[in-house]
Amino acid sequence: MKRILAMLLALVMVFALVACGGNNSTTNNGGSTSGGSTSGGSKGEEGSIPGVQKTLTIGIASDINELDPQQQNDQINNNCFALTHQTLVFLTNDTNEQVPCLAESWEWTDDTHLVFKLVQNACFSDGTPFNADDVVFTYQKAMDPERSAVAATLSLVESVNKIDDYTVEFVTKSYSNELLSVLAGYPLSILSKEAYDDTSNEQPYLIGTGRYVFKEWKEGQSVTFVRNENFWGDDPGQADEIIFKPILESASRVAALQSGDIDVCIDPPINELSILQEDANVTVHNQAGTRLFYLGFNCAKEPFDNQTLRQAIACAINREEIINGVLDGYGQPQTTVVNRGVWSFYDDMEGFDYDVDRAKQLLSEAGYSEGELTVDLYISNGSPYTSIAPMIQEYLRVIGVTVNIQQFDEATLKSECQSGNQQMFLWRWNVIDRLDEIYTELFSTDYPTNYHHYSDSYVDEMAVKVLTEKDKDTRLQLSQDLQTYLVEACPQVPLYVADLVIAYNKNLQGTYLFGGGNHNWSWAYVALD
């Protein structure tokens, strides 16, 4: 086994690529500039608040790609919107409790009417008061698929109505267990109706009620936010500015942290954690993760429209070896498609554990002899995909399946998967508390993020039942039944849930971290010695 692992790790080194940055174009709220690299800011320089470093710089593993909340649902973009925008409901990072934000209270008056009472002292970053008109505008826009990329998340909402200046009512087709969690998502942050009514404002989506204001985006280099001087709450941001700095190569992020160029290193390489742990100026934070990495199949395209073949591939993959080889043990394997930590997580079905003999038998039952099948595996050209892919290639070679690895930048990979050009693909999916974010968004027929192109009327019906069933025990059984069914159907092979590992300046304060990476940095700052 050690010899096999050594060979696989050698293959990893051959296939791993160093990702490079983007172009030099820059977008900001008032115009555009272009230019060179952005440093970590004024390290050690005191800002306007005594004892607080002026700039907080966060080294990220991928660049942002969209500044309009409703046109995306990517983790890195949502980290930005957590600074600039707010939602009606806020989700806590420890208990996943739904607590007030721009809504001070809410109540289901019956199964199809949800009424929100809004705060009365909030305002947007341009000083415009916040009220019910902004809420109604935001959700009417979000529900329009011609104007929003997240309309499907509100499929049960029929209308959003203004009762008075600080009361709004959601009318739904049926009761929803997860509507409050949907409304807590940053793609549904509240927008300013007045900013959109101003035809001279070319980027009205930049106006929010958050603690920071967008300043400048240099693609591939940095995105900068400054403290919102009009923030309405009693707990404003502490740092004068927060900068997200994409450093795609993980070792370079570590070097930047140790040199002081950045204050936070997202996803440090596992093989350098011991070095960071010995650095007196660095804290290495580790907690259970919620982001599931998986091998997906295009179930609508040969050869993986064959369920038995998908099962054969699942039996050929050694999840434990991937976790040890790629993560050095910082992760957990699982059988189910539901992320760890999500209510009703169930992992006691039989599934398809690593078993080469069974894999070969299922391959034969699927109608293929050893050496007959060649397939493509689409991956992103960054970590951890370039490490996992050659391991999967070797596992499938053992059962007589040839794998050609094709690498893309992340945006292109998503486009290829949406178009259905892939046969197999590596991807990840982060969920905090919403089952519908799994059952509907990953597996329901024709949903935009159903990269499996999987279609099953039973799954479609069960997804709705799990979303709308009010009896908790009945809903639990429905969810466990659906998980068991999906594991048997095998549209994907769950590989692991990675631990959350972040390294940062030992003086960093005010962190608000989530296991899947949807962090809120709006309270964070570096305290000066």
Q: What pLDDT score was predicted for residue 5? A: 45
The token pair that represents 445 in the structure block: 């027929």
Pick from 30-39, 47-56, 353-362, 370-379: least confident: 30-39
Q: What pLDDT score was predicted for residue 18? A: 34
- The mean predicted confidence, pLDDT, of the chain is 91
Q: What's the pLDDT tens digit per position in 393-423?
A: 999 999 999 999 999 988 899 999 999 999 9
Total Cβ atoms within 10 A of residue 447: 18
What integer is the mean pLDDT of 198-221? Answer: 96
* Bridge partners, 218 (sequence order): 26, 222
Q: Which domains does the chain have, with CATH numbers?
A: 45-84+210-287+500-526 (3.40.190.10), 89-197 (3.90.76.10), 290-498 (3.10.105.10)
pLDDT at 29 over 70: no
Residue appearing with tokens 């991956």? 379
| Proportion of the chain above pLDDT 70, given as a percent | 92
What integer is the mean pLDDT of 113-125? Answer: 98
Q: What are phi and psi of 47, to 5 degrees?
A: -90, -155
Q: What pLDDT score was predicted for residue 35? A: 34
Q: What's the pLDDT tens digit per position in 148-179?
A: 999 989 999 999 999 999 999 999 999 999 99
The token pair that represents 23 in the structure block: 């172009």
Q: What pLDDT score was predicted for residue 270? A: 87
Q: Grade residue 42 by pLDDT with cuts at 50, 70 and 90.
A: low
Q: Grade residue 6 by pLDDT with cuts at 50, 70 and 90.
A: very low
What integer is the mean pLDDT of 221-228? Answer: 97
pLDDT at 199 over 90: yes
The token pair that represents 295 in the structure block: 């091998």
Total Cβ atoms within 10 A of residue 226: 18
How many Å apart are CA 184 and CA 143, to the nearest integer?
16
Task: Give 53's Cβ-side CA count (13 Å radius).
Answer: 25
pLDDT at 354 over 70: yes
Measure Cα distances from 96 to 91, 118, 138, 433 in Å: 6, 21, 24, 7
pLDDT at 21 over 50: no
How many Å apart are CA 210 and CA 232, to the nearest integer?
9
Burial-class residue 206 by CB neighbours within 10 Å (0-12, 13-18, 19+): buried
Q: Grade residue 74 by pLDDT with cuts at 50, 70 and 90.
A: confident
Where helices occur in 68-220 by DSSP H, the ranges are: 75-84, 132-142, 179-183, 193-197
What integer is the mean pLDDT of 500-507? Answer: 97
